[in-house]
Amino acid sequence: MKKTLFDIIDGWTLIFDRAELEITLNRVSQSFYERKVKFMLLEDLWDLLEMMDDPLEFMTDIRMSNLIEKLLRDEVKATVARFVQLELPGLNVLNAEETIAQFPDFFEDYDGMTLSDAWLSFFD
């Protein structure tokens, strides 16, 4: 079965499931990491997820759903999310190369985590 990334993200606004969100972000991100790029739309979602762990933030599942919905209201981000085709149940990205070529501004080079990145993340 095929779905768009938009469909998956939109589903998170109806029923927020943190575990499902993390699994999905990991699997979809992996397809782009293999191509040595970070998909900045997914990075935005990771940033939202990290807010849940911040003790200074008051973050409920409902507020998280609202923040995800707000992210999807951006027309350009919604267009990109609708372009990305996923094969379910494995969440394989079917058109990663085409997505990178079509929306190059949404990608940054990625060479993996460096030792200094790992060290810094250890203290975050």
39: left (phi over 0), alpha (psi -120 to 50) or beta: beta
Query: Backbone phi, then psi, for 38, in 5-degree steps?
Result: -105, 135
The pLDDT of residue 15 = 85
Side-chain-side CA neighbours of 29 within 13 Å: the count stands at: 18
In tens digits, the chain (124 residues) has pLDDT values of: 899 999 999 988 888 888 888 989 999 999 999 999 999 999 999 998 888 877 777 778 888 888 899 999 999 999 999 999 999 888 899 999 999 999 999 999 988 765 455 555 555 5
Longest alpha-carbon distance in the chain: 41
**Checking phi first, is residue 114 left (phi over 0); if not, alpha (psi -120 to 50) or beta?**
beta
Comparing C-alpha atoms, which of 102, 84, 105 is closest to residue 29? 84
